[in-house]
Chain A
């Protein structure tokens, strides 16, 4: 013990623990340090870091707000349910029907969808809301904490009763704890006792304080949230419910089941005798696709945030969402990653902020950064289009460049201001066309527009073909919606468009006045689109389209049709003007994160492929020139495990160890002894033998092979496929 005091002078070879005397002896690295340390382009590193952080904070706030709004309806109905159940509990106990009915435990089945990763956030905010407005007693349990009924009750009691919990279940380590205060009761009984003593004190306290600052009910319910119902063992759950039902008269317990699949699981897990102890009501949360739609709308289809994603990047994120996990949280994580990666990898991202701020920063840009601008591909092609005079100026004068860049930046921001409302208008038109040629969700349309000139695509043409047949009422309703969208946008350029649309509307109304409905009743069916929707068959669809075309050609256009054509043409011109892909915009690299492959590599990793690559072609990771091989040749300089791996690829399900060793020896010694010292090679070198054994056991550790009892001296392959 004394040694530690003069540890440095100690001669004994001991192991001493130094407690850090000063907390700040080794200053830990902050996130900013990590960010700056790895930066390739150090220009404005700290500014970039701060911008990215504040931007992300804003975005995060927005997502949280949006989640709150989305969940509001669900939470409100849940709270209503809790209130009702509680008042049921407090009802006159001696009323006849109450006496005769069995007292059931109220339970809410919350169907949350298969995106399990999102549940935590939802349930956390739920319990916060409950704590704030319904009851101070909320406990949430997770299946992995509750392998048995004992642990479940233990968790429950600790969460509800806090430190005072006397969970004297027979666990040895707790034996020492205050033996005198120990109460010998079943956990549920002690919970019940605790509840009564708490409410009694509350009651006297609330009597004293007549001012009703008392938010909760007089007998607040005890809410138990079982986060992942599917994963609980049925027996544990059944026991818990049975025990709780023994106390249902005294303890107002309410259960909330978090369900990922379908409410059928309740019947699958609970026997009839147990489920008849419950009074189950069903609640459904918003679907995850709807949730995603809102997130994209609020974070990406807005000018509120300067950061933007290219079509490819968005595609990667939505693909992960749709194909793999349905998780909005993961989508948001991906978004966060994109933000950080953008600011990390793009030196000019310092300008990725609101326009006024960007202009300021532009002025103080260093020469290096100006060079960076000149290197931007979009800028280079812009320069190419200028006359030679300004080309030279752009490439030599920083101040001229800055002035020019300012205009370009303004242009870019204006582009977004127009792009988004026009996109929304177009979506209004296309979102309910039969077969959704341009997609049902606005994100699909958005991706299509960012990909290429959307008006050149086939889908666009067929969509417009359909639009030219819209019925009047639908057309007018859509126009009305577009007017609303444009009204709420701030873009100056679009004010003319707005006027034009309003004018269209007025003219439609006029039409209604002058030409009475007989005019287009002659068409037979007022809405060809409605007729089209009925015909789901593709063949029929084409036929009707053709017929309609014919009839249109043959007949002279009436007033309505002429106007309709005019509207559609106008819409087309809007699209051509405003929905050009961002890649055509100069300086788009500043705002757009477009490295889809980085994103994919990070978010959708393929460990199997990577492992195979590393073992099959070590050059890929080691970057050692000697290892560079083309095709089937195995270099004997490759790491042993790579050689063993390559050889095992050629084998079947069972591998003969001796043959493998032979092959291994041949490869390893291939160039060492070109003079084929056959006598020595008969006798396997001990060192090579050891190396082989090590390589094989490494492969076993990695899970490629395992020992087998089927055949002696053989191992079994666990992967399939050859080279």
Chain B
């Protein structure tokens, strides 16, 4: 007896759906009731939202496929212009009835929404889709906002505009309110796919157990895995990936004959530290999953592999280092205090003397401030021991630092108008650079006075 009871849909299909999709019963039943019978008109647009890997794409795809409903799925990241989007929809519709082997291409031009409506009508007529609901699934719908303005509103009203039996499903990771639809939009039916809780994750993940091992064995592994990772990660895709990556390690004692499958405590002791390590490395993509697998297999070479972030050191030419230091000082010191730091005989200026009220907060908390080129050079000249000639090389070094993303150019790019920069490196980074040239940067920073 299937969970869903809909006289309109064949029971075998319902049972199949139940087997393939877990923990989404209420969403599916809502959708099925909204869809109604094949030839009935449905809601013009449905907006489905939920975090990543909550099964939006998967559920909709499976649903439409199992019931063999005529549908089209387009991804807005891939179809990044409205034309690609239109033509993607139309050509998929066009090849709807034909076999997959033979590829049909849609040959006509479709630039505007107007064209799209016209061609859509034509195609549905051609494909004999007049008397059943066509579902258009627009995945990653949040990207629609960056495309043509009328696109979102148009799709919402597609049913009305084409006068066809069509329903548009938007899938997105963000809530409908954030779409700030333009006037003339038509409120869609919204449906939330909530995050899976631990139990649900356990159920779904346990489903794909490997053929060689028993169900229980795998689900106790998943239990341990969730115990470690559930606090940091609820992404089903990621968890599944991690489960697959680390499973060989879990099986190791069993394969070697050191433990039995039921020896849960032993297996736990074996896998837990390993998973903790995975959390700091593969999970953060500090090392790649391929490297991780090789490490598990006891590859010596990868044994002392360092992660991506471990190699933060950047070797720079001598003056670039000083330019960067100067830029850092200019970014984090108030301009008024330059005299105090860079004039030889500044007298006794105490910090309190030039402390303004609002400056009590650390400049480092506020982030870098833009500074003009002149100030950068003035500071540079006073922190480098020897005379620095203002050669073309010095200036091109500034530009190089910008291309390396160590400095960033602020504001409009009017070359003559005294460009302004910001220093984007961290305190740790600049301290390493300064140490390298024996420059005590802390002494020159207002925040550390």
List residues of A whose CB falls within 8 A of some B CB.
84-85, 88, 96-97, 99-102, 104, 106, 109, 111, 113-114, 116, 149-150, 169-170, 175, 179-180, 182-186, 188-189, 193, 228, 230-231, 239, 242-243, 246, 260-268, 272-273, 275-276, 278-282, 287-289, 320-326, 604-609, 703, 706, 718, 720
Contact = CB atoms under 8 A, between A and B. Distances in A.
A101 B390 contact: no
Nearest to B313: A262
B107 A720 contact: no
B84 A169 contact: yes
A326 B316 CA distance: 8
B126 interface: no
A324 B308 contact: no
B14 to A, nearest CB: 26
8 contacts: A97-B244, A114-B315, A184-B106, A230-B404, A261-B405, A264-B308, A273-B52, A718-B418
A106 B318 CA distance: 36
B238 interface: yes
Those 9 A-B pairs whose CB atoms lie nearest each other, nearest first? A100-B244, A184-B87, A324-B393, A263-B308, A96-B210, A101-B244, A184-B106, A279-B288, A170-B83
Determine which residue in A100, A109, A169, A322 has the highest number of CB atoms from chain B within 10 A of its CB, and name it: A100
Interface in B393-437: 393-394, 396-397, 400, 403-406, 415-418
A231 B78 contact: no
Nearest to A182: B107
A718 B309 contact: no
Given A324-B393, A324-B394, A607-B392, A243 B77 contact: yes
B91 A184 contact: yes
B308 A282 contact: yes
Contacts of A104: 288-289
A114 B107 contact: no
A105 B181 CA distance: 36
Contacts of B392: 604-607
A281 B290 contact: yes
A604 B390 contact: no
Given A84-B290, A184-B90, A280-B288, A706 B374 contact: no
Nearest to A279: B288
Contacts, number: 185
A608 B91 contact: no
Determine which residue in A149, A243, A279, A706 has the highest number of CB atoms from chain B within 10 A of its CB, and name it: A279
B311 interface: yes
B90 A188 contact: no
Contact of B317 (A114, A262, A607): A114
B403 A230 contact: yes
A620 to B, nearest CB: 17
Nearest to B294: A84
Contacts of A604: 389, 391-393
B314 A114 contact: yes
Given A182-B107, A186-B78, A324 B405 contact: no
A637 B291 CA distance: 75
Nearest to A231: B403
B390 A243 contact: no
Contacts of B319: 323-324
B6 interface: no
A559 B403 CA distance: 62
A38 to B, nearest CB: 24
A101 B289 contact: yes
A604 to B, nearest CB: 5
A116 B405 CA distance: 13
Determine which residue in B238, B291, B316, B400 has the highest number of CB atoms from chain A within 10 A of its CB, and name it: B400
B237 interface: yes
A605 B290 contact: no
A253 to B, nearest CB: 14
Contacts of B67: none
B83 to A, nearest CB: 4
A604 B389 CA distance: 10
Contact of A116 (B88, B393, B400): B400
A242 B389 CA distance: 47
A268 B408 CA distance: 14
Interface in B289-329: 289-291, 308-309, 311-320
A162 to B, nearest CB: 20
B290 A101 contact: no
A271 to B, nearest CB: 11
A278 B284 CA distance: 11
B290 A606 contact: no
Given A230-B405, A326-B317, A276 B238 contact: yes
Contacts of B308: 109, 263-264, 266-267, 280, 282
A114 B320 contact: yes
Given A100-B208, A186-B78, A323-B393, 7 more contacts: A84-B290, A97-B244, A102-B241, A116-B400, A169-B83, A186-B79, A275-B285
Contacts of B289: 101, 104, 279
Nearest to A102: B241
B81 interface: yes
Interface in B259-296: 284-285, 288-291
B397 A324 contact: yes
A50 B88 CA distance: 62
B63 interface: no
B247 interface: yes
A322 B290 contact: no
A262 B311 contact: yes
A149 to B, nearest CB: 5
A114 B316 contact: yes
A565 to B, nearest CB: 36
Contacts of A323: 317-319, 393
Contact of A325 (B111, B317, B418): B317
A287 B315 CA distance: 9
Nearest to B373: A718
B405 A170 contact: no
Contacts of B248: 97
Interface string B97-126: 000000101110111000000000000000
Nearest to B88: A186
A720 B381 CA distance: 13
Contacts of B393: 320, 323-325, 604
Contacts of A605: 391-392
A337 to B, nearest CB: 15
B80 interface: yes
B389 A609 contact: yes
A48 B249 CA distance: 71
B104 to A, nearest CB: 10
Interface string B198-210: 0000000000101
Given A186-B88, A275-B285, A606-B389, A149 B80 contact: yes
B240 to A, nearest CB: 6
B404 A260 contact: yes
Nearest to A720: B374
A177 to B, nearest CB: 12
Interface in B230-253: 237-238, 240-241, 243-245, 247-248
Contacts of B415: 703
B111 A609 contact: no
